[in-house]
Structure 1
Amino acid sequence: MRRDDRDDPFDEFFRELERMMNDVMGPEGDVHIEQGGGGSRGTDMHLDVHETDDQLRVVADVPGVDKDDIDLKCDGTVLTIEAAGTHRDYDDQITLPARVDEHSANATYNNGVLEVTFDRAEDPSDISLN
């Protein structure tokens, strides 16, 4: 059952994409593209990870939630983002491409865009054998 997409400006685009995929797959396959949202739990969010030599920055689209309803956790290798809004809930875990110092985290949220910046963790030290 599809959610009500009457207010979705991309509904026509997704219907056409679904039709084209069904044409490609032929009668053997049936493709149905589910869009995020609609009150479902764990809606996938769009995010980007940017790396520099000494920092790692995660930028995620989390529209429709209040700043106070966003919960962030990091263990140095995985960032967990949980957010609950009136129409959408987000629950994602992002495996970071490099180990970070979770205590250096700095997060901002502005106009539906969440940005979390970490310092990279120090490289492990080599231990010399005596």
Structure 2
Amino acid sequence: MRDDDRDDPFDEFFDEIERMMNEMMGPNANFHFEHNSGRAGESDHGGHDVHLDIHERDDEIRVVADIPGVEKEAIDLQCDGETLQLDAGNGERRYSERISLPGRVDEHSASATYNNGVLEVVFERLDDSTSIDV
């Protein structure tokens, strides 16, 4: 029997964590714990896990993602103003991540840099309210 044919002894543990997090966060919660049953650093969908940070300011949202081992030309970014889809890869590594942004952004204002395996994408925030002249 191969290692990947066996049941993972931690599956029930991670399922219970997901259940408790969804219960705590309310009826609209959809918490999912990324549990890797394959090789270290590789997710269930065949790609590598993306470590990312989101930084918020009054006027911008910045997403910083670690995606080492790919060329800049192999990075594909798509944004609809609410989510950022990141796809990148080469023959050895594959990254795919859908990131819910913490606020609405102007996707046409995006600027991105990639240096030493670190991707940084900056968006201008859209105002949530509009002033109305009377």
Counterpart selection for 2:128 from 114, 123, 128: 123
Unaligned runs of 5+ in 1: 4-28
Residue aligning to 2:67 = 62
- 4+ residue runs over 4 A deviation: none
Confirm whether residue 78 of structure 1 aligns to residue 78 of structure 2. Answer: no
Higher RCO, Cα 8 Å, sep 6+: 1
Q: How does 1:1-130 map to 2 (within 5 A)?
A: 1=2, 30-31=9-10, 34=36, 35-37=40-42, 41-125=46-130
Change (3 A) 1:2 1:62: farther
Residue aligning to 2:24 = none
1:49-105 Cα distance to aligned partner (Å, 9 max, x none): 000000100000001100000000000000000001231101110000000000000
1:31 Cα deviation from its structure 2 partner = 2.6
- Two-structure CA RMSD over aligned residues (Å): 2.5
Q: How many residues align?
A: 103
Identity of aligned residues (%): 51
Change (3 A) 1:107 1:127: same
After TM superposition, the score normalised by the length of structure 1 is 0.69
Q: Partners in 1 of 2:85 and 2:57 — Cα distance?
A: 21
- Asked whether the 8 Å contact 1:42–1:92 carries over to 2, the reply is no
